Amino acid sequence: MSGLLPKPGVNDAAMFSQFCESHLGVKPYVDERGVRRVGSASPQKLVVTLLSEHTASDVLRLARQLRHSTDDSVKQVYINPDLSPEQAKAAYERRCARRRERSNAGGPPPTVNSDLNAAAAPFLSNTQH
């Protein structure tokens, strides 16, 4: 998880649980021994171990809703699965391939079927507001 700022006096497990309840509508059961901050970026990423795989799937599925939040600080929070280096590389390669496919899928510009006459005289209104 990235983008969740630490709060003084609040442990990360409780903060994660409260965040999920407030913004995702679920209260996950967190293994408090499996919650830690990692990395040197500020704020540090938060690794959270949940007590069931079903709960983890629910949180990951619902995390997409965060992009539609009206709160900018919530839009900055990303919840992703904890991947091994090999899994992360494979996921990166899939994203790159999807982007290439999208950029190559453009093809020729669509044709416009219109009865409008580009050589017509301009329309000027004499009405005053």
Which residues lie closer than 8 Å to 50 by C-beta, 6 or more apart?
A: 28, 29, 30, 31, 56, 59
Supply the pTM of this predicted model: 0.70
Q: Is 54 helix (H, G, I), strand (E, B) or coil?
A: helix
> pLDDT tens, 62-104?
999 999 999 999 999 999 998 889 998 999 999 999 999 988 8
DSSP secondary structure string for all residues of 61-94 = HHGGGGGG-S-HHHHT-B------HHHHHHHHHH
